[in-house]
Amino acid sequence: MKSFTEKMGITGNLTIIKRYTDGEQEVLFDDHNIIVSGMGAGLAALFTGSGSNIVLDYQIDRFQIGVSGRATGVATDTLEVSSTYQLSGDINKSEYGGGSNLFIDLANLVRPVGAWAQDKAFALIPAGKITKVSDTAVRYTLVVDEECANGLVDAAGSDAYLNEIGLFLKNPLGTTDVDSSMLAAYRTFTSIQKTSDFSLIFRWTLNF
């Protein structure tokens, strides 16, 4: 049986570009992404009137980056499925970097079972970086700048590498006081050791 998002024909593509400080650019990745069940749950709440009464709460306006999408012992085929609802190893607020241009919001993460995760770090997507490219497609341009996510280490003190990213609906269930965000799309990618020598540009296009 097809999922709600499959029935609606929602698809996506992610391109990752490394841009050096001298302006040189290199395409690192260009492939489809996984539209996860959170997208369907959020849209179902919108269409049935069971979620937030504020339309903007259904907007994809934030993302997370992580370091465990291709970590030892984590199979990518267990993450890149429609039931995925969170990154395997999302970074925390301080790891985004105090000098970065990204605005980091702390919010809840909606989980389908059990308690929701609280005080999770989400990088907000500026309105100017959300572009309608056709009647059925929207592009999100996510910039992890030179000051962001540098020198990451794991719990053992070893170098950690960016290798997963997710797009999130803002607050589809309409919780008050603190937003409760829901994963809408996810992708792992080849591990990247982030440094101040370059920024990463994620061009994520969703087709509705």
What residue numbers bound the domain in which 159 lies? 34-129+146-195
Tell me the CA end-to-end span of the chain in Å, nearest whole number.
20
Q: What is the model's pLDDT at position 2?
A: 47
Between CA 92 and CA 8 the distance in angstroms is: 34
Considering its fold, how many domains does the chain have in total? 1
Any domain includes 46: yes
Single pTM value for the model: 0.93
Any domain includes 185: yes
Tell me the one-letter amino acid at 166.
Answer: G
Any domain includes 203: no
Between CA 68 and CA 121 the distance in angstroms is: 16
Any domain includes 39: yes
Between CA 37 and CA 42 the distance in angstroms is: 9
Q: Is the pLDDT of residue 5 over 70?
A: no
Q: Assign 161 to helix, strand or coil.
A: coil
Q: What is the model's pLDDT at position 91?
A: 98
> Residues of the chain with pLDDT > 90: what percent?
86
